[in-house]
Amino acid sequence: MVRVRLAPSPTGTLHIGTARTAVFNWLYARYQKGTFLLRIEDTDKERSKPEFTANILEGLSWLGIDWDEDPLIQSERIEEHRSAIQTLLERGLAYRCYASEDELTSMRDNQKAANQAPRYDNRHRNLTPEQESAFQAEGREAVVRFRIDDDACIQWKDLVRGAMQWRGADLGGDMVIARRAPADQIGDPLYNLVVVVDDAAMEITHVIRGEDHIANTAKQLLLYEALGLPQPVFAHAPLILNADGRKLSKRDGVTSINDFRELGYTAEAIANYMTLLGWSVPEGMDERFTLKQAAEVFSFDRVNKAGARFDWDKLNWLNAQVLHDWTTPQLKEALEPLWLAQSWSLPDDPSWIDDLCQLLGPSLTLIQDGVEQARPFFTEPPLEADGEQQLNQDGAKAALSALLGGLEQSPWDGADPAQAQAYLGAAAKSAGVKKGVIMKSLRAALLGKLQGPDLITTWSLLARLGDDRARIKRCLS
Ligand code: GLU
């Protein structure tokens, strides 16, 4: 039975990297009919905030990722973490180190000067009880370190990267597993230790996370061994890279799921795109899919080792596809609040709103595009250069004037498109212009420019508000 988990630290809003890790875990769990769990890694008390936890949970739900049990709160398990450290101390696999910050800094400076990689030199590995007492008497604060033998050879079979091997000597020396640990206390347990203790307690079978955790995996495997715990299988997903091929970071601007949401991306497109960041679809499968569809075929064989470059064009394309398929009620639910936020007054007639949504849907790439595209339906648009040029064409104003004459005699109620065509035909005829001229000129009059959605529907919406004649009139004065 597969059991996987996402272990976010609530020190910021839901990041795209964490969300992608969540997607891979969720897809694997659902494909394997296993269990997907959450663990909130809130042991960094200064930086962890409940509002970040709320943001992460809400963001996952928005993306369509559900979890199977109440999230486990890491800070509530501190006694279990401490007891594991106690076990390691008792077995002689961990010890207290009293090296001061200054000593460690000068150690690293010397290593650098000698062209060596900085590492802890294990100097307090074998302190005598007398030496320990002397350091304590000086009032030095200790950390607990876990012994890492230089000649340890750590191996695992990574589901993405295949056979992996790591030498103990490359792990930076004996690792700190607890801070602030005076002789009579265990102190504050740290990441690598608590993750192992919690993953084992949660009976996690597969640890799926970003490639930036590979060195942690090597360290964690040593801890599993030392604590006599069964080791899970590991899968390291490739990093998400920016356009320059570097790891996507805060400096790239948009990295939080919130940001994408505010820009007008849909949950469907983001979830779809995040799956494609590192996973390639099996032959014959469309690149556009729902998480549910992907969960039917997801496997790590198709997860790439190479970093996944973030491609805005592809995300935009997916988002447009999603929006073009949205139903009118879906569009309305997303667009109406944006229109209200502009302080535009919406007509009482609900079918008018529906029709506007239906008109704009096919031309949206981002939900937010629906603000600019709807603007001329709520406020009188300025006359732009191309619109003005059109109105100066031979016969344009004469045709509009004929159209206005017809409309003033009997206004169009916006209902029957055939009637609209009849008005246009009559106006063209009376002004002696081709129908194309009156149509382009009407578009310029109604929208101020030549680009826009279907003319007759546009006109119908404005006619139903009684705004069409005023807009034509202003072009004639
Ligand atoms: N809290 C860690 C992180 O957010 C979890 C890493 C892991 O999955 O073990 O990076």
Judging by DSSP bridges, how do beta strands 162-167 and 94-97 pair with one another? unpaired
- The predicted model gives 390-419 an average pLDDT of 96
Q: Does domain 385-474 have CATH number 1.10.760.10?
A: no
Q: How confident is the model at residue 184 (pLDDT cuts 50, 70, 90)?
A: confident
Q: Given a cut of 90, is residue 266 above it in pLDDT? A: yes
Q: Ligand 1 site: residues with CB under 6 angstroms?
A: 7-9, 41, 195, 209, 213
Q: What are phi and psi of 336, to 5 degrees?
A: -55, -45
Q: What is the pLDDT of residue 94?
A: 98
Q: Are 52 and 98 in contact (CB under 8 A)?
A: no
Q: Which run of H or E residues covers position 344?
A: none
pLDDT category at 312 given cuts 50, 70, 90 is: very high
Average pLDDT over residues 164-177: 97
Helices and strands per DSSP (H, E), number in the chain: 20, 13
With a cut of 90, say whether residue 411 has pLDDT above it: yes
pLDDT in tens, 26-73: 999 999 999 999 999 999 999 999 999 999 999 999 999 999 999 999
Domain with CATH 3.40.50.620 in the chain: 1-67+238-325
Please name the amino acid found at residue 329: P
For the domain spanning 78-191, the CATH number is 3.90.800.10
Mutate which of 41, 60, 247 for ligand 1 pocket (most atoms within 8 A of beta carbon): 41
> Which residues are 279's β-sheet partners?
303
State the Cα–Cα distance between residues 411 and 145, nearest whole angstrom: 85
**What is the distance in A from the centroid of ligand 1 to the CA of 5?**
10
For domain 1-67+238-325, the CATH superfamily is HUPs (3.40.50.620)
* pLDDT at residue 243, as a whole number: 87
Question: Where are the domain boundaries for CATH 1.10.10.350 in the chain?
Answer: 385-474
Residue ranges of the chain that CATH labels 1.10.8.70: 326-378
Provide CB contacts within 8 A for 273, sequence distance 6+.
Answer: 314, 315, 318
Amino acid present at 370: G
Q: What is the mean pLDDT of residues 427-445?
A: 97
pLDDT at 230: 98
Please tell me whether residue 213 adopts helix, strand or coil conformation: helix
In which residue are the tokens 């875990």 written? 25
Beta-bridge partners for 162: 158
Residue 364: which H helix or E strand, with range? none
Q: Which of 6, 13, 23, 195 to mutate to test the pocket of ligand 1 (most atoms within 8 A of CB)?
A: 195
Average pLDDT estimate for 209-223: 97
Rounded Cα distance between 159 and 167, Å, is 20
pLDDT in tens, 352-383: 999 999 999 999 999 999 999 999 999 999 99
39 Cα to the center of ligand 1, angstroms = 9
Query: Span 228-240, mean pLDDT?
Result: 97
Q: Enter the pTM of the model.
A: 0.92
Confidence of residue 284 (pLDDT cuts 50, 70, 90): very high
| Whole-number CA gyration radius for the chain | 32
In the reported structure, the alpha carbon of residue 283 is separated from the centroid of ligand 1 by a whole-number distance in angstroms of 32
Report the percentage of the chain scoring pLDDT > 70. Answer: 100
What percent of the chain is modeled with pLDDT above 90?
96
**CA nearest neighbour of 415 among 377, 456, 455, 384:** 456
Angle between helices 267-276 and 16-31 (to 10 degrees): 80
CA distances from 298 to 25, 68, 278, 282, 319 (A): 10, 19, 12, 9, 22
Alpha-carbon gap, residue 275 to 15, rounded angstroms: 15
State residue 249's pLDDT score. Answer: 83
Residues of each domain in the chain carrying CATH 3.90.800.10: 78-191
Mean pLDDT value across the chain: 96
The atom number, within ligand 1, closest to the CA of 7 reads 5
The tens digit of pLDDT for each residue in 247-264 reads 988 788 888 999 999 999
Give the angle 407-408-409 at the CA atoms, nearest 5°.
90
Inter-residue contact 330 to 266 (CB < 8 Å): no
User: What CA–CA distances, in Å, run from 409 to 136, 293, 334?
Assistant: 100, 57, 39
| DSSP assignment letter at 309 | E
In angstroms, the CA 179 to CA 41 distance is: 17
- d(C-alpha 167, C-alpha 46), whole Å: 34
pLDDT surpassing 90 at residue 182: no
Q: Quick one: average pLDDT of 88-107?
A: 97
Query: Residues 283, 284, 288, 292: is their CA dihedral positive or negative?
Result: negative
> For the residues 182-209, what does the mean pLDDT come to?
96
Q: Report how far residue 316's alpha carbon sits from residue 369's, in angstroms, rounded to the nearest whole number.
A: 12
| pLDDT at 351 exceeding the cut of 90 | yes
Of ligand 1's atoms, which has the minimum distance to the CA of residue 216?
9
Beta strands in 136-251 (DSSP E): 143-146, 153-158, 162-167, 175-179, 188-189, 206-210, 233-237, 240-241
Question: Measuring from atom 6 of ligand 1, which residue has the nearest CA?
Answer: 7
Q: Which of 213, 214, 217, 221 to mutate to test the pocket of ligand 1 (most atoms within 8 A of CB)?
A: 213
Pick the CATH number of 326-378 from 3.40.50.1980, 3.40.50.1970, 1.10.8.70, 3.40.50.300: 1.10.8.70
